[in-house]
C-alpha cells in the first residue's frame, strides 16, 4: 500500500531499512542522536538502534570523516551527516586526500563504503555556510561517487543504494525540498543509482537539472505547455558518474539543451555537460547549450537569495533564447 511521505521522512525510512538489513551500518554526526538531526532526518534512530550505532559526535568534521574511514577499513558501513553544506570544508582533506584515493592506492584491495550526507542549496532563508552548493568540488574528484535526490521516493531508495555501494558516496540532499511530499510504494523496483531519469517527456527543448532545481524545471515545463512548447525534463540524479548517454539521447531528438543548477555557472556541472553534449551531439544541436545557475559570488544574505537562485522566469528566458536560434 503506497504511503505519503516527505523527502526527509524518505531518508529516515531508508536509513532505518539499511540499519535493519545490515548490523555494520552506523550513523555519525553532530546532533544526529538525541536530537535526531537539525532537519530530523535521523529522528528516532538512536532510540531504536542504540548509542553504539547512532553516534553524536563533537563539532569536528575532519575527525568525523577520519573516524568513518577507519571504521570502513574495519568492515563497517558508516553514514556521516554533515550538518550543513558549508561545514564540509574542514573535512575536505580527509575526503579528497584519503577517502577518494585509498581504493586505487591499495590496488583495489581496500573498499571504502562510506556515505557522506550533505544537506545543500539555498531557499530556506539561511546565510552563507548554510546554503551553498559545493557538489562540483566532489564530482571533480576521481574516486568518489556523487549523487543527489530530488524527491521523496528517490530519497528512500537512493540512500539505501548509496549505503550498499562499496565506493564512497557523497549524498547531496536538497534541504529546501525536505518537506515536499510524494507517494512511496516500498514494493516497487528502484531505479539504478547512477542513472538519470526522464521525469517529463517533451520534444522542443531538453532541460537537465538535479536536486532542488528539478521541481523548478518541471514547473517551467508546465508553464511552457500553456504556450504550446514541449519541454523534456531530465533528473540527472548522479553527478559522478554522469549519465551522458541519457542526456544525449534526448538532445538528439530536441536539438536544444538548457542545464539548470543552483551552484554558480562558472566551472559548474553545466560546463561539463555542455562540453560533453557539444562533443557528441554537435550535428544535432540547433542552438548552443545554455546554462542557468547561481552567480559567481559568495552566497548572499537571505533577503537577496530570491534574486540569486535560478527561478522559473530565468529558466523560461533561457528556453526562449534557445528557441530563438
Rounded to whole angstroms, the Cα distance separating 266 from 172 reads 20
Cell of 226: 500553456
Give the β-pairing of 257-264 and 205-209. parallel
The Cα angle at residue 154 between residues 148 and 156, in degrees rounded to 5? 110
Among the listed residues 16, 66, 144, the one whose alpha carbon sits nearest the alpha carbon of residue 134 = 144
Contact 27, 171 (CB under 8 A): no
Q: What is the DSSP string of 148-166?
A: E--SHHHHHHHHHHHHH-S
Helix axes 269-281, 244-254, angle to 10 degrees: 60
Q: Is 54 helix (H, G, I), strand (E, B) or coil?
A: strand
Distance of CA 92 to the CA centre of its chain: 17
The residues annotated as belonging to the active site are: 130
Among the listed residues 291, 276, 211, the one whose alpha carbon sits nearest the alpha carbon of residue 246 = 276
Amino acid at each position: 500500500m503506497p504511503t505519503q511521505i516527505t523527502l526527509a521522512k524518505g531518508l529516515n525510512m531508508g536509513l532505518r531499512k539499511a540499519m535493519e538489513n545490515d548490523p555494520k551500518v552506523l550513523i555519525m554526526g553532530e546532533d544526529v542522536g538525541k536530537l535526531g538531526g537539525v532537519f530530523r532526518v535521523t529522528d528516532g534512530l538512536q532510540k531504536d538502534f542504540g548509542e553504539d550505532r547512532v553516534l553524536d559526535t563533537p563539532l569536528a568534521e575532519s575527525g568525523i570523516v577520519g573516524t568513518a574511514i577507519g571504521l570502513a577499513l574495519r568492515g563497517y558501513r558508516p553514514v556521516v551527516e554533515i550538518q550543513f553544506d558549508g561545514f564540509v570544508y574542514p573535512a575536505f582533506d580527509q575526503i579528497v586526500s584519503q577517502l577518494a584515493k585509498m581504493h586505487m592506492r591499495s590496488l583495489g584491495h581496500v573498499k571504502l563504503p562510506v556515505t557522506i550526507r550533505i544537506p545543500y542549496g539555498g531557499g530556506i532563508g539561511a546565510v552563507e555556510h548554510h546554503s551553498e552548493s559545493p557538489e562540483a568540488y566532489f564530482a571533480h574528484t576521481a574516486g568518489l561517487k556523487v549523487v543527489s535526490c530530488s524527491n521523496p521516493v528517490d530519497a528512500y531508495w537512493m540512500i539505501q543504494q548509496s549505503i550498499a555501494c562499496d565506493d564512497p558516496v557523497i549524498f547531496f540532499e536538497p534541504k529546501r525540498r525536505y518537506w515536499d511530499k510524494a507517494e512511496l510504494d516500498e514494493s516497487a523496483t528502484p531505479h539504478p543509482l547512477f542513472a538519470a531519469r526522464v521525469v517529463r517527456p517533451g520534444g522542443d527543448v531538453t532541460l537537465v537539472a538535479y536536486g532542488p532545481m528539478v521541481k523548478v524545471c518541471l514547473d517551467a515545463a508546465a508553464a511552457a505547455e500553456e504556450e504550446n512548447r514541449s519541454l523534456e525534463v531530465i533528473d540527472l540524479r548522479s553527478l559522478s558518474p554522469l549519465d551522458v548517454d541519457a542526456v544525449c539521447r534526448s538532445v538528439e531528438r530536441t536539438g536544444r539543451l538548457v542545464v539548470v543548477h543552483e551552484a554558480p555557472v562558472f566551472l559548474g556541472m553545466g560546463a561539463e555537460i555542455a562540453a560533453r553534449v557539444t562533443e557528441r551531439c554537435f550535428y544535432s544541436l540547433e542552438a548552443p547549450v545554455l546554462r542557468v545557475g547561481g552567480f559567481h559570488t559568495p552566497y548572499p544574505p537571505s533577503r537577496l537569495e530570491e534574486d540569486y537562485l535560478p527561478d522559473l522566469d530565468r529558466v523560461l528566458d533561457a528556453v526562449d533564447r534557445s528557441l530563438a536560434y
